[in-house]
Amino acid sequence: MSCLSILLLIFVVSGLLNGWGSTTYPVVIGNYFTGYHVISVLSFVAITMFYYALVLLFIISIAFLIGVLTKSSVLSLGITGIVVITAFVLTENPQFSKFMTLTPFGYFDSASFVSGNSMTITYLEKWQVSLLFLLTIVIINMINLSLLHKK
């Protein structure tokens, strides 16, 4: 069963048990520095899922690149796991947090990023983060294609 179907199943079961609620329910996002804004819960969920999809594409691209370089799927999964965990740990470290805002690794916690509670929101706007993710994914995939064509 895929992750998406598990999430859908959880959503349907919780909706049946607790009720569906209103998609226009207000959610306050922002912080002291950026100001506070009110958006609907539907907008919040849609934006958060968009960033989760970008994070997933980014991790898949890294795993594919490592798989092309190592030619081993097990080694590729292991190295990708180590890279992602190391990046997450570095993101939480205050000494590296300013540097990590310039990499896609600093935005893995999509819900905190969208709500404005993330410590990594210091320099970049949300559209700039989307562009950073997409450009990184494109560059990684271009490297993958060039490595595959050399074989």
Per-residue pLDDT reduced to its tens digit, 77-102: 899 899 888 887 877 777 776 676 66
Residue type at 60 in one-letter notation = I
* CA pair distance 41, 111, nearest whole angstrom: 12
* CA pair distance 32, 129, nearest whole angstrom: 20
Residue type at 73 in one-letter notation = S
Joined tokens for residue 84:
């992602």
pLDDT (tens digit per residue) in 103-151: 777 667 666 666 666 655 555 566 666 777 778 888 888 887 787 777 6
- Nearest residue to 104 via CA among 145, 66, 56, 143: 56
* CA pair distance 61, 90, nearest whole angstrom: 20
29 SS3 class: strand
- pLDDT the model gives residue 142: 82
What letter would DSSP give residue 35? E
* CA pair distance 96, 87, nearest whole angstrom: 10
Q: Confirm whether pTM is higher than 0.75.
A: no
Tell me the backbone φ, ψ of residue 119, rounded to 5 degrees.
Answer: -75, -15
Instruction: Considering only residues 35 and 117, tell me which one the structure prediction assigns the higher pLDDT.
Output: 35
